Structure 1
Amino acid sequence: MKIGVFDSGVGGLTVLRALLPRIPDAEYFYLGDTARLPYGSKSQATIARYAVSSSQFLIDQGCEFLVIACNTASALALDEIGLTAAPYAVPVVGVITPGAAAAAAISQTRDTLVIATSATVESHAYSAACESHGLRSIEKACPLLVPLVEEGWIDHPVTAEVTRIYLSELHRQASNASLVPDTLVLGCTHYPLLREVFEAGVRELWPGHPAAVIDSAEATAREVERQLNASFSNRPAAGIRSPATRFYATDSVVKFRQLGTRFLNQPISDVELVDLGG
């Protein structure tokens, strides 16, 4: 099985990191469309064009399953990607629906919070996904967190304070809306690196009954595993071998290798530069 994983940058490597131990019998192809990021500042038509060309590249490499590890593309271009993949019978999984489904699976109050980038929040894709699973939700954009993560300030006091401020604002919004949230969905692929920071924050704000932190990267990996197990009942068990992975970027391969190593939590030795056009 050849699995293609796509993001506009390196954040989607957290999804790949979650996939590797779950599906080690696959060959992985990761594409970071770094020449055209950030997707969030583009129009929906442009995002769809970029996402479709990136997906077509992975299909052309022989990928038999596509994981759209980009919240913006999942929110605004998943239908177009699906139409591109359909003639090749390639399944497509985004990161938004699995995150909402994971929250719905454990929520008792049916109230959830979602933190994401501005573009994802403005799309209201998580709100729609949560509603489809019977959840009430509040979404909040946290634009300062991505640059802090990429700066490597994972354990920095500034990052902890910024996170606390965002969560405090969410706490007030939930109270004003008479919601009792028991889940917090990390709606950006950068945020799993800050999971411990978020868990500390919810323990402080909701003492005694902190909201469970939902890692949408892990939720997406579980959904891919579920679909593969359903399609191939004789798949080898996890842990059989070390997965093979190829990395592609549309710009700045040195930066991709350096930054990506942090997100993947293992060295990235070779990154191939590809040109997908404008």
Structure 2
Amino acid sequence: MTSVQQRPIGVFDSGVGGLTNVRALMERLPNENIVYFGDTARVPYGVKSRHTIETYTEQIVSFLLEHDVKALVIACNTIAAVAGQKVRQLAGGMPVLDVITAGSEAALSTTHNNHIGIIATSTTVNSNAYARAIHSQNPQARVLSQACPLLVPLVEEGWLDHEVTRLTVREYLKPLLAEDIDTLVLGCTHFPLLKPLLKEEAPHIALVDSAITTAEATAQALARMGLENPNHSGADYRFYVSDIPLRFQTIGERFLGRSLDQLEMVSLG
């Protein structure tokens, strides 16, 4: 075993939602140590300029590199869409995985009729990043994107099976289902928590969970580069945020699916 193999995976997001990616990584790669950073003091990123997002991203990546990570996972759709190239420049030769690339590849391998729906935040939809990623591999694919801004606060409120959430999901899905999609990409870190409800509302649609597909892509990248941690003595998880809002613990544990230990606040920039 080398010291490189024992280094942690760095995962980052503009806020708390990226913990769904951490959860998927814990399940897929139980031996891997993880360092997570959520920029809770400066969320949301979606309303900020490209320059500001790139500046914040550079600060986060520098912080994670100080923790001697061996791979980086961009768990934020906005960062992946706007500053993914910047992250790869800063990372040098280490693996960099992101939710948009992994989600797009999974959608293409899942669809049978090449009609793919995307549900995401307004910023991610407006960036057209999923459509570009999908069309770069299959120009014939039909990509239908739907911004779902109301779903993020409903998930954070914990209304995962509430009638208000159900009706909201139903309205957002209508235009996508009218276009005969057979695959739906959950293009926001909050949306995996809505999978049971989405399956009830659209039982014949295949759901692509970007958190799960990104975890799988990470596993493949580590294996390809001989970076897997063979240590079975128990993984170490550390969580850093730039602010701890009043409800952070409750929301974070809902996303992570377990207690949120080793949480620390740090200031960047």
Partner of 1:123: 127
| 1:206-221 equivalent positions in 2, closer than 5 A | 210-221=204-215
The aligned runs of 1:165-244 (5 Å cut-off) are 165-172=171-178, 174=179, 180-203=180-203, 210-232=204-226, 236=230, 240-244=232-236
Q: Which runs of 4+ in 1 moved over 6 A?
A: none
Q: Which one-letter code corresponds to 2:133 in the other structure?
A: A
- The 1:265/1:101 distance shift into structure 2, 3 A limit, reads same
TM-score normalized with structure 2 length: 0.93
Distance change (3 Å), C-alpha of 1:100 and 1:243:
same
Match of 2:96 among 86, 92, 96: 92
* Cα RMSD, aligned residues only: 1.5
Amino acid in structure 2 at the alignment position of 1:52: E
> Are 2:32 and 2:228, in contact at CA under 8 Å, matched by a contact in 1?
no
* CA distance 1:234–1:243, shift in 2 (3 Å): closer
Would you say the 8 A contact 2:32–2:229 is kept in 1?
Answer: no
C-alpha displacement at 1:233, in angstroms? 7.8
CA contact (8 A) 1:33 1:249 kept: yes
1:21 Cα deviation after fit? 1.9
Distance 2:68 2:153 in 1: 34
Residue type at the aligned position of 2:216: R
> In the comparison of the two structures, how many residue pairs are matched?
261
Query: Is 1:132 the counterpart of 2:136 in the alignment?
Result: yes
Q: 2:106 aligns with which of 98, 102, 107?
A: 102
- Alignment partners' CA distance in 2, 1:3 and 1:243: 11
Deviations 1:22-48 (A, max 9, x none): 112221100000111100010111111
**Aligned partner letter, 2:181:** P
Quote the residue 1:75 is aligned against.
Answer: 81
Question: Partner of 1:114: helix, strand, or coil?
Answer: strand
Question: Hey, what's the Cα distance between the residues in 2 that align with 1:93 and 1:62?
Answer: 17
Is the CA contact (8 Å cut-off) linking 1:260 and 1:268 kept in structure 2? yes
Task: State how far apart, in whole Å, the 1-side matches of 2:161 and 2:186 are.
Answer: 18
TM-score (norm 1): 0.90
Deviations 1:46-75 (A, max 9, x none): 111111111111111111110010000000
Identity %: 45
Partner of 1:206: none
Q: Retained in 2: the 8 A contact 1:257–1:269?
A: no
Contact 2:95 2:221 (8 Å CA) reproduced = no
SS in structure 2 opposite 1:143? coil
Q: Aligned-pair distance for 1:258?
A: 2.4
Unaligned runs of 5+ in 1: 175-179, 204-209
1:190-227 per-position Cα deviation (integer Å, ceiling 9, x unaligned): 00000111111112xxxxxx120110110100000011
2:147 paired with 1:147: no
* Unpaired runs of at least 5, structure 2: 1-6
Q: Does the Cα contact within 8 Å between 2:116 and 2:181 map onto a contact in 1? A: yes
